[in-house]
Every structure is written in C-alpha cells, then in structure tokens.
Amino acid sequence: MSRTRALVVVAVLVVFVAAGGALIYANTNKGGQNVTFTVTVTGAKSMTPATLRAHQNDTITITVTSDQEGELHLHQYDIAFEVKAGQPTTHTFKADKTCTCAIEWEETGASLGTLVVSP
C-alpha cells in the first residue's frame, strides 16, 4: 500500500470516529426531559412497574392507582401520594438529585419499588 493510500485510510477512519462520537454525544439524555410514569399498586404489596428510571433535572410526573386506600411514599424526595382505591393520584416534581429512591407503602413499610435518578 502506498503512503498516500495509508494516509487517506487513516483520515477516513478519523472522520468516521469523530462523526460517530458526535452522534452518540448528541443523543445522550442529559436530563431536562419530561418523564411520565403510570404505576399500579396491588394489595399494598406490589407496584407495576417496580423500577422507574429518570435523569437528574428531568421533570417527573408519577400517577399512582391502587386497589386500596393509603399512602405511597417516595423517599429522598419525601413525596406522599395519598391514594384512594381506584382513583389516580398524580405528583409532578423536578428531579434535582440523583438517587435510588425507595418507594414504600407507608402504613406497613412494605417496599414497592424504586425510582432511579441518574446523573
């Protein structure tokens, strides 16, 4: 292979890697999105889905429907969802900190799931 061809191949590879890196960086979620979750609590013992994922600086909206009346508590953010059986309850908040936040049924302390807020 001639020296000129080798330089062309290297130049093409550099452009390809740079373009790929730019595309990956541009499509990475850095927070600041509106994220909505709809969860269902059954028997004050389980929540579907059990894991909610968001990024720091996202605006998170969680709507909870339960088959029982009680309080679902989102730790670290200290948000209480006072739910009535069969009626959706919604809270919207800014994810201003990272955490793996426990979600529990307050009256029994039963762990229902987690909200994972990544940087």
**What is the reported pTM?**
0.75
**What average pLDDT does this structure show over 41-52?**
97
**What average pLDDT does this structure show over 13-35?**
58
- What is d(CA 113, CA 58) in angstroms, rounded to the nearest whole number? 19
- Encode pLDDT of 59-113 as tens digits: 999 999 999 999 999 999 999 999 999 999 999 999 999 999 999 999 999 999 9
Contact status, residue 53 vs residue 29, Cβ threshold 8 Å: no
The pair of structure tokens assigned to 69 is 């009346």
How does the average pLDDT of the chain come out, rounded?
86
The pair of structure tokens assigned to 115 is 């909200």
**What average pLDDT does this structure show over 21-50?**
81
The pair of structure tokens assigned to 23 is 């595309």
